[in-house]
Structure 1
Amino acid sequence: MLTVGLEQATFRAFHGLYPEERILGNDFIVDIFVTIPGTRHIDSISETVNYQGLYNIVRKIMAIPQPLLEQVVYDISDAVKEKYPEIQRSIVSLKKLNPPMGASIRNSIVTLEKNY
């Protein structure tokens, strides 16, 4: 198996349940890893998952405000699988930095792991 991924892709986005989050936005970090069959040498980008393609998918999904981070990670996972049907597994983590909870918290996190 071969894993391709991105770590700590940073975005300013407007996800959240509270109206203030939809207006002010927040900073988010996305980690994404996908696994494909990979027991042979790869000679071409067409034989693997292009991490620029992963980034473009994540950027597009992050631009669509959602009330729940859970929906965002499902949307990313579904879009990646649609573009790269050879994927056998994905892990998508979304961190909201300094969530508005009235406490000192570095980040909240939602992670979705899927086997296809």
Structure 2
Amino acid sequence: MLTIHLHKLLFHAHHGLYEEEKLLGNNFEVDISIKHQPITEKITSLEQTTNYAMVYKLVKQRMQQPTLLLETLAQEICEMILYNFMHAEEVSITIKKLNPPINNFHGSVGITFDLKRSSINPL
């Protein structure tokens, strides 16, 4: 099994329930792992693996669309990756909100979502 990682992707986006978040936005950090079983003994071309530049492009586009819940956002990104990258068998994503609007809170909040191709309904 091969795992492709994209770590510490940083975005400014407008996800959240509160008006402040919708108006001002927040900073988010995204980590993604994509697992797939190589179809050949030796991977020698990009077509035999998952193109992480294309994964980044997809994630960047989705992060620009405001969403109320990080849970929804994470699930949709996983589904998009599995739909667009046929080699991908399993996706794990962690999304952190780096400055949550919580009084006297110093830290980040976040979620992790895992999705296997075998657990989704075919389109």
TM-score by length of 2: 0.90
Give the distance between the partners of 1:8 and 1:46, measured in 2 at CA. 25
Per-residue CA shift, 1:15-54, capped at 9, x if unaligned?
A: 0000110000000000001001037210000100011011
Q: Which residue is equivalent to 1:93?
A: 94
Q: Which residue is equivalent to 1:108?
A: 109
TM-score by length of 1: 0.96
Q: How many residues align?
A: 116
Q: Alignment RMSD, CA only? A: 1.0
Conserved? CA contact 2:36–2:87, under 8 Å: yes
Structure 2, unpaired ranges of 5+: 118-123
Structure 1, unpaired ranges of 5+: none
Q: Which residue is equivalent to 2:20?
A: 20
Residues 30-69 of structure 1 correspond to what in structure 2 (within 5 A)?
A: 30-38=30-38, 40-69=41-70
Per-residue CA shift, 1:48-85, capped at 9, x if unaligned?
A: 00110110011011000001001110111011111112
Give the distance between the partners of 2:16 and 2:77, measured in 1 at CA. 16
Conserved? CA contact 2:16–2:70, under 8 Å: yes
Give the distance between the partners of 2:95 and 2:112, measured in 1 at CA. 6
* Superposition deviation, residue 105 in structure 1: 2.9
Tell me which amino acid in the other structure corresponds to 1:68.
L
Task: Name whichever of 19-28 and 78-87 sits farther off.
Answer: 78-87
Tell me which amino acid in the other structure corresponds to 2:58.
I
